[in-house]
Amino acid sequence: MPYRPTERTEARKAATRDAILTAAVDQLADGGYASASIGAVAARAGVATGTVYRHFESKSALFAEAFRLAARRELDEFAAVSVDDGRGAVERIGAAVEAWSRRALAEPKRAYALLAEPVDPAVEAERLDFRRGYRDVLAQTMQQGIERGELAPHDTQTFSAALIGATAEALIGPLSTQPRPADDEALIASLVSFCAGALPRQELVTA
C-alpha cells in the first residue's frame, strides 16, 4: 500500500515550515538580505540546512515567501490606519504615511530590506507587487475624497504612485545610514506635510 502521511505528520511538517519561514522573516529584520543565508535561517529555526531545502526549493523561493509575509503585515497596517472611519481623505492619507514612516524608522534593517536592498529577481517581483498594493490603498482613499467633495478630480493612480514613490525614496537614505543623521520626528512631519500638500483640494466656490 502507498504511504499516506498521517495528520500528525502533516501537522509536524507544517509547523517546521512555519518555523523556517518565521526565522527567515526575523533574519531579514535583524540583518537584512546581506545576512540572509540558508545556514543562518536554519540555525535560527533550529533545523538542518537540508530540512530547509525540503520545504523550499531554493534560497530565492524561501525569501520571496518571507518577503511576502513581512510585506503583507506592513501593507495591512498601512490599510488599517487609512480605513474609512469618518475621517477626511487628507487626514487618513497623512495618518497612513505617518504610520508607515514611523514603523520603518523603528526597524530600519527590516524596512530597508523591504524597500530597497538589492535582492533576487523573485523577491524584487514581490516588492513591486506590494508597492502597487500601497498605491491602491491611497488611490481608493483619494477616490473617496473626490466623491465626497474633499478633493478635486484627478488621476488617483498616478498621484498615489507618486506619493508612495516619494515617501519610499525619502526613507531609503535615513534607513541605510547608521547612525541616522536626521531627526526622525522632523522627517516624519515633513513627509506627512508633503503628501498632504500634494493632494489636489477641491476649491470652495463662493457667491
Complete domains list, the chain, with CATH: 60-198 (1.10.357.10)
Query: Residue 161's pLDDT band (boundaries 50, 70, 90)?
Result: very high
Contact between 117 and 127 under an 8 Å Cβ cutoff? The reply is no
pLDDT tens-digit map of 44-72 = 999 999 999 999 999 999 999 999 999 99
What is the distance between the alpha carbons of residues 23 and 120, in angstroms, rounded to a whole number?
Answer: 19
- Give the rounded percent of residues in the chain with a pLDDT score beyond 90: 76
Over the stretch 118-137, which tens digit does the pLDDT of each residue have? 988 989 999 999 999 999 99
pLDDT tier, 207 (very low <50, low <70, confident <90, very high otherwise): very low
% the chain with pLDDT above 70 = 94
pLDDT tens, residue by residue, 1-18? 555 667 777 888 899 999
Average pLDDT score over the chain: 91
Q: Work out the average pLDDT over 137-160.
A: 96
- What is the average pLDDT across 18-35? 91
In the structure grid, which three cell numbers stand for residue 23, read together? 526565522
φ, ψ dihedrals at 35, nearest 5°: -100, 0
- Beta carbons within 10 angstroms of residue 162's beta carbon: 15
Mean pLDDT of 162-171: 96
DSSP three-state, residue 201: strand
Mean pLDDT of all residues in 194-206: 80
* Residues listed for the chain: 207
pLDDT at 205: 42
Residues 125 and 196: their CA atoms lie apart, in Å, by 29
Distance CA 24, CA 58 (A): 13
Report the pLDDT value the prediction gives residue 46, as an integer from 0 to 100: 94
CA distances from 15 to 65, 72, 114 (A): 16, 20, 25
- The C-alpha cell that represents 59 in the structure block: 534560497
Whether the pLDDT of residue 204 is over 60: the answer is no
Instruction: Show the DSSP H helices in the chain as ranges.
Output: 7-31, 38-45, 49-55, 59-81, 89-106, 108-115, 121-147, 156-176, 184-198
Q: How far apart are CA 168 and CA 162, in angstroms?
A: 10
Q: Which of 68, 66, 74 is nearest to 137 (CA)?
A: 74
